[in-house]
A and B are shown apart, each in its own frame.
Chain A
Amino acid sequence: EVQLVESGGGLVQPGGSLRLSCAVSRFTLSSYDMRWVRQTPGKGLEWVSTISGSGGSTYYADSVKGRFTISRDNSKNTLYLQMNSLKGEDTAVYYCTKSGGRRELSFDDYWGQGTLVTVSS
C-alpha cells in the first residue's frame, strides 16, 4: 500500500519559517508529480503547490508564490515544502498528495495524514 507521511508542522510566529517533509514509500517517487494541499475550516481544501517527477517544473498558488518553495529528493523518497514569511492565513493542515495521472493537472490518488501548521504570536 502506498504511504505518505508528513512531518515538520508546528507553531510558528508571523514572519517565521517552517519546512515540511513528506516521506513516501511503496512507489517510485520520480515517476509522479507530487503536491501539497492545505485545509482550513474557513477556506476548505486549497491546492498549494505541485512539482514534476523530475523536479524540473514547479507550480504555486498565487497565495503562496514567492514565499513557499516545493522540492523533492528522489533518492531519499522525500518531498519538501519550505515556507517563509508565514502569515496567519497560512494556518492549516497541510497534506502531501500523489498525482493520480500523468498530466500536471490531475487528481490526487493518495494523501498523507496531514501536519498542522499554526501561525500565531
Chain B
Amino acid sequence: EIVLTQSPGTLSLSPGERATLSCRASQSVSSNYLAWYQQKPGQAPRLLIYGASSRATGIPDRFSGSGSGTDFTLTISRLEPEDFAVYYCQQYGNSPRTFGQGTKVEIK
C-alpha cells in the first residue's frame, strides 16, 4: 500500500501568514488522485481539495493544492482564524486508499 508522509507534524503560524503543508507518497500516486481534508476538534474531516488541485464546493480560494507523482503541497495563502486545524492528505489512486498522519496548524 502507498504510505503518505506529511510534514511538518506541527506548523505554528500567525493569522495572515502563509501556510505550506507537504505530503509525500512512497510511490507515485496514480493520475494524481490526491485529496486534502481539514479537521477541527470534535468534527469530521471536510474535503478541501481533490485531484491534487481542484477545490471542493464552497472552499475559499485561499486554499490551493499542487504537485504530482510523489510530492504534493497544500497552501493556505493567508491564514484566517478558522483555518487553525489538522490537515490530512489522502491518495485514492491505488487500493487501498490511504491517509497521511496529519499536519496540525496552530496559532503561534
B92, A106: Cβ atoms closer than 8 Å: yes
A111, B44: Cβ atoms closer than 8 Å: yes
A111 to B57, CA, bound (A): 14
Query: Quick check: is A112 within 8 A (CB to CB) of the other chain?
Result: yes
Query: Quick check: is B35 within 8 A (CB to CB) of the other chain?
Result: yes
What residues on B are CB-neighbors of A27 within 8 Å? none
Query: Quick check: is A11 within 8 A (CB to CB) of the other chain?
Result: no
What residues on B are CB-neighbors of A109 within 8 Å? 47, 50, 56-57
Instruction: Give how many A residues have a beta carbon under 8 Å from the other chain's beta carbons.
Output: 21
Q: Mark A57-96, 1 if CB is under 8 A from B, else 0.
A: 0010100000000000000000000000000000000010
Provided the pairs A107-B35, A107-B90, A109-B56 are in contact, do residues A61 and B46 lie with their beta carbons within 8 angstroms? no
User: Residues on A close to B: CB < 8 A?
Assistant: 44-47, 59, 61, 95, 100-101, 103-114
User: Residues on B close to A: CB < 8 A?
Assistant: 33, 35, 37, 43-47, 50, 56-57, 88, 90, 92-102
